[in-house]
Structure 1
Amino acid sequence: MERPQDPVPAGGPIQGEWCVLVEENIGSDARIWGLSHVRTFPTREAALTDGAMMARQYQPRHPMSERGRRIYRTGEDIWTVQVQGVTRTFHFRLSVARAEAR
C-alpha cells in the first residue's frame, strides 16, 4: 500500500538541504521511539509546506487502524500528532531541519 511519505529519497540529505524528520514508535512491539523517515527539499518553505501536509496525512506505523487524529503545532517548524487507534493512542513528531553533514 502506498503511503503519503513514500518513496523516501535515496542516499539521505546533503549539506544545506532542508528536511522533514519523522519520529515515531518503530519496531514490532511499538516500544521503540526513533527517526523513521527523512524527506529532503531544496528550500525551508517547501519543507514547511510538506511538514504541514504530513501532519494531516502521514500514516504512522502505529496504530494500524486510525480512528482519529489531533495535531499540535508545538513550534514554528514542529508538529506533534496524536493518533487514536482502535485500542491505543500513539503519537509522532514532524520537525523541519537543515542538514549539516552527510
Structure 2
Amino acid sequence: MTTGTGMGMGPWMVVIEENGGLGQSVSWRVSNFFWATDHNDALRMAEHLAHTHRPMHPMIPQGRWALRRTDGSWLVIVPGTTTTYQFRVDIAEHVPYPGTTWTSPRVAGTT
C-alpha cells in the first residue's frame, strides 16, 4: 500500500472519507488515500481498511459495522460512548484531464 503521496502504482486509489467540522458545517473530507496496483488490489485494500482503519472519532469505539456496497466501496459505522460516527472507504480510478499534470490532492489535516 502506498499512502498519501506518490505516483506510478496504477490508476486506482482507495480513498477514506470521514465527517469533519461542527454543527451545521459537518461535511465529508478525505482523511487518507492509498494507491492500488489495479482494481482487484483496490477491492482487497478497501475491505482491509473497512475493518482496520482507526477513524479520528470516536475516541473509544464500541464496535464496528462494515457495510459493503455493490460497487466495492464501504460504509463503516462506529458507535462511540455518546454518539455514532461513520466513515467511507471508496474506490476510484484516476482519470487525468487532458493536458494536465498530476498533483497529489490535499488530505484533511495536512498543509
- Taking structure 2 as the reference length, the TM-score comes to 0.73
Structure 1 moving runs of 4+ over 6 Å: none
Report the aligned-residue RMSD: 2.4
CA contact (8 A) 2:20 2:28 kept: yes
Q: 1:85 aligns with which of 77, 80, 86?
A: 80
Matched to 1:18, the amino acid is W
1:1-102 matches, within 5 Å, as 8-11=3-6, 17-27=11-21, 29=22, 31-101=26-96, 102=102
1:42-65 deviation line (CA, Å, top 9, x unaligned): 111111101001111111111111
Give the secondary-structure state (helix, strand or coil) at the position aligned to 2:50.
helix
Structure exhibiting the larger radius of gyration computed from Cα positions: 2
Structure 1: which 5+ residue stretches go unaligned?
Answer: none
Aligned length in residues: 95
Distance apart, 1:40 and its partner CA: 0.4
Q: Percent sequence identity over matched residues?
A: 31
Question: Are residues 8 and 61 of structure 1, via their aligned partners in 2, closer, same or farther at CA, if it must alter by over 3 Å?
Answer: same
* Structure showing the higher strand proportion among its residues: 1
Structure 2: which 5+ residue stretches go unaligned?
Answer: 97-101, 103-111
1:55-87 deviation line (CA, Å, top 9, x unaligned): 111111111111101111122321100001111
Give the secondary-structure state (helix, strand or coil) at the position aligned to 1:83.
strand
Distance apart, 1:9 and its partner CA: 3.7
